[in-house]
Structure 1
Amino acid sequence: MINVIVADDQELVREGIKMILSLYEEINILGEAENGKQLIMLLEKLQPDVILMDVRMPIMDGVEATKIIKEKYKNVKVIILTTFNEDEYIFKAIKNRADGYLLKDAGSEYIIKAIKSVYNGAMLLDPEVTVKVVKAFNLITNEKQSFDNLKHKLDVLTPREIDVAKLVAQGKSNKDICKILFLTEGTVKNYVTRVLEKLELNSRTELAVFVSQAGI
């Protein structure tokens, strides 16, 4: 059973998501929140596995809430719900280690897939959002990375580390990578940690953005 909390300032959206989730026996809806502050207070009493959270909310938005959640509740997974006109929020939430990104109009099966993916330690980035994420990366860092710069960064990775990076970018969990590359889970975990350190990245989602930019 995967315990989920839904956070969105629009009641209609919350009700719609809860209705979708209620159709699946493996999902248990623990609670809901109207904003990030209310969500943080809720986490003092409840212990969800996954949070589905709107990126733009009053009082405290999803970006700030994600930062606090990842600092205080490291095992809680955060999936950001977004629309196409919220570029300025996207990479900031990724920098705060959000585990996934979904468009608000995603289908029910895709939402469930996202919840299961992040629950199992993988990362899920909606393909339709990827271009927006890369664009946000470039805008927020104010440094559009050239191909040569990306190639230079890739040179610090071993062939096996590049293999791992590609699989992470495809949304594979450590267990998935173990089976594909015939490695132990501990070895895969060490590879992921080294890749993030070498590329000076903070999360699997940032790594997915990097791989997309580098074209590997």
Structure 2
Amino acid sequence: MTPYNILIVDDHFVVREGLKLILETSEQFQVVGEAKNGQEAISLIEEVHPDVVLMDLNMPVMSGLEAMRALKDNNCSVPIIILTTYNEDDLMINGLALGAKGYLLKDTDRDTLFRHIESAVRGEALLSSDIMARVLAVREQQSSLVSQAPHNKEEPQLTEKEIYILKCVARGFKSKEIAYDVGITERTVKAHLTNIYNKLGVDSRSQAVVTAMERGILHM
């Protein structure tokens, strides 16, 4: 099996070396590049074409969020997992809204890191239960303000099946698992996800979950 190519983006040498040592304990991954900031990351992504990027947030020159925004503006769809020491809800929400496939703290265990990378390679977002709980908490805090604000735009209508599929995505289920649970093909699941993306105006699973929660469409 060809190993997955990983790009590590962090301004601390020790952190990059530590991640590299962890990843190299598995033949499934190989580190093809390291960057000290978002600007270097953008250049390296064009050069080495990684399968997954592990991205820190708080870096000099260009932050992780700024790099993600620039990549999104340039229609670069490389899967990004945020790996940071900053356990802040605003950063988490913004990162997921920009399409991050996962949000992990740097003290996460090896198996969790590997599972998130494997999901990202498949194009799927893997959001842990505690992350989803925090997204919900932030959404609840904002709900009263949102409900009081004038709505000039009609909210998109998702079907019951689309909402159920989105709930499964929010719980970290893979397309194959959702297909088995619902009794449809994996291809049909992906078609439903495409419809959800179009209705919500997003282009990734994590964005769909966050956007649906923010708009009060999805309740866990």
TM-score (norm 1): 0.83
- CA displacement at 1:197 relative to structure 2: 3.3
| Aligned residue identity for 1:33 | A
5+ long unaligned stretches in structure 1: none
5+ long unaligned stretches in structure 2: none
> Alpha carbons of 1:160 and 1:134: their partners in 2 closer, same or farther (altered >3 Å)?
closer
Does residue 36 of the first structure (1) align with residue 58 of the second (2)?
no
Structure 2 counterparts to residues 45-194 of structure 1, below 5 A: 45-72=47-74, 74-135=76-137, 143-144=145-146, 156-194=157-195
Q: 1:5 maps to which residue? A: 7
Question: Is the partner of 2:47 in helix, strand or coil?
Answer: coil
How far apart in 2 are the matches of 1:36 and 1:179?
Answer: 39
Deviates more, 1:162-171 or 1:7-16: 162-171
Q: Cα deviation per residue 1:113-162 (whole Å; 9 max; x = unaligned)? A: 1100111122112333334444555789994559xx9xx969x3222112
> Alpha carbons of 1:131 and 1:57: their partners in 2 closer, same or farther (altered >3 Å)?
farther
Q: Cα deviation per residue 1:97-118 (whole Å; 9 max; x = unaligned)? A: 1111111110011000110011
> Alpha carbons of 1:38 and 1:114: their partners in 2 closer, same or farther (altered >3 Å)?
same
Deviates more, 1:57-66 or 1:127-136: 127-136
Deviates more, 1:171-180 or 1:105-114: 171-180
- CA displacement at 1:205 relative to structure 2: 1.2
How far apart in 2 are the matches of 1:55 and 1:115?
Answer: 17
Q: Is the 8 A contact 1:165 1:211 kept in 2?
A: no
| Equivalent in 16, 19, 33 of residue 18 of structure 2 | 16
> How many residue pairs are counted as aligned between the two chains?
211
Q: Is the 8 A contact 1:94 1:205 kept in 2?
A: yes
Q: 2:219 maps to which residue? A: 215
How far apart in 1 are the matches of 2:203 and 2:130?
Answer: 22
Q: Is the 8 A contact 1:103 1:126 kept in 2?
A: no
How far apart in 2 are the matches of 1:46 and 1:208?
Answer: 30
Q: Percent identity?
A: 36
> Alpha carbons of 1:59 and 1:126: their partners in 2 closer, same or farther (altered >3 Å)?
farther
> Alpha carbons of 1:47 and 1:107: their partners in 2 closer, same or farther (altered >3 Å)?
same
How far apart in 2 are the matches of 1:89 and 1:31?
Answer: 25
Deviates more, 1:164-173 or 1:34-43: 164-173
Question: Is the partner of 1:125 in helix, strand or coil?
Answer: coil
TM-score (norm 2): 0.81
How far apart in 2 are the matches of 1:145 and 1:109?
Answer: 40
Q: Cα deviation per residue 1:56-87 (whole Å; 9 max; x = unaligned)? A: 11111111111223344644100011335433
Deviates more, 1:190-199 or 1:56-65: 190-199
Q: Cα deviation per residue 1:173-215 (whole Å; 9 max; x = unaligned)? A: 3333233323233321221122233345553113334459743
